[in-house]
Amino acid sequence: MAQSASETRVPRSTGEISLSFAPVVKEAAPAVVNIYARRVVQARRSPFRNDPFFGGLFRDFGAPQPRVQNSLGSGVIVSPDGFVVSNYHVVGQADDIRVVLNDRREFQASVLIGDEASDLAILKIEADDMPFLELRDSDTVEVGELVLAIGNPFGVGQTVSSGIVSGLARSGTATGNGRGYFIQTDAPINPGNSGGALIDIAGRMIGINTSILTRSGGSNGIGFAIPAALVVEFLDQARDGKTVFERPWAGATGQPVDADLSDGLGLLRPEGVIITALHRASPLAAAGIDVGDVIIEVAGQPVNTPAEMVFRMSVQGLGEQVEMVYLRTGETHRTTVALIAPPDDPPRDTRVLKEQDVLTGMEVARINPSVTAELGLPLNKEGIVVINPGALGRRVGLQIGDVIRQVDRFVIEAPSDVGLALRHAAPNIQIEAERGGQRVILRFRA
């Protein structure tokens, strides 16, 4: 029977093994760009600036001076009208971004949407008829496929390295950064490759190179790429005018099912994610899922870690319905879950403290699912949280995410209570807060 031209198979001869990747690289390389990003930061001020004696003596010591931080990375043009994808850690905080093409043309770029948790950013350059890479459905990628990594390692210029797909569904501690969902490859990835393309032998992009697992700082053949499926969702949201990536909210916490849990649950083998907590507004709870259930599939794909579950929901997008398969007391159930944004209910009622409130500029809000998702708070946390401590709040020791329980004898039940309690407690103030599950006492004089 005739072999399909598009069929992937193992090379059958020395001649096939020696075939060059040059045609693929020639087609793909023009769409992979070098990115030069700059960020202007202020140097630390003099510790003597307010001292009545040393302030004059060390007037110029540590004076605030603008300092430029430069970063180098790669990016991929993903549409002919100039949309470029890169890593958030390359461009997310930059003030000035230059995109340099393989043919040495340069363009200024701006970040349309970025997300630190996913380490992805979409840029836009004002140009048309640009070379671009086709995005392949990353769910069709298989372990053992030949791949090429294209980027700008160490700033030496565009470089191509080859390897195979070493693993799929890499997430959590397996990647060394504790979060995310990745394709693993042994194609060498080095500093500067971040944001570059991982392509298949047909020249289609299957992922964005993002990190390596290393003890020495060098490439040890364990690299990770963000799947193209997530890039598609970022690109769609950027085209819709979103400036912040919106991911569906599960309203749940869970953990992987290991061998011990599997035995206790009576499962045939370790698989899935066991739900350990649910918010009362969780769409999973509304769909009939309960604490103790084991999610084994989302949108027809197996899931074995919370990060993988979040990824599967994210690539479907807000407003969609997704089928989930779960186990309960050994029986398999199916349900449909609505993919919603974290509710901003009850209202966060954000308050910014004024001058008479003592800690001028501090921003506080009521905790709700939306605030919980933004700050990474525990799922069912309640109370009044510090959104931004402000300069004075930082000085007395407050941090973003601190939950204020009391100011002296006054129990804090609403954002408006904070300023009032501080005024009544002055000049000697004690704040009782909760930070990372621990009780924190802060004392200061207003």
Active site (catalytic) residues: 89, 119, 194
Burial, 210: exposed, middle or buried (Cβ in 10 Å; 0-12, 13-18, 19+)? buried
Residues 6+ apart with CB under 8 A from 264: none
The answer to whether 88 touches 119, Cβ cutoff 8 Å, is yes
Half-sphere exposure of 289 (CA within 13 A, CB side): 33
Q: How far is Cα 412 from Cα 421, in angstroms, rounded to an integer? A: 8
DSSP string, 171-205: EGGGGTSS--EEEEE-S---TT-TT-EEEETTS-E
> What are the helix and strand counts (H, E) for the chain?
11, 25
How would you classify the pairing of strands 181-185 and 223-227? antiparallel
DSSP 388: E
CB neighbourhood size of 258 (10 A): 10
Are 84 and 124 in contact by the 8 Å Cβ rule? The answer is: yes
Residues 6 or more apart in contact with residue 152 via CB below 8 angstroms: 34, 35, 72, 73, 74, 158, 159, 192, 193, 196
Q: DSSP letters of 115-183?
A: ETTTTEEEEEES-SS---PPBP-GGG--TT-EEEEEE-GGGS--EEEEEEEEEEEEEGGGGTSS--EEE
**Dihedrals φ, ψ of 278, to 5°?**
-135, 135
Tokens of 52: 């009545």
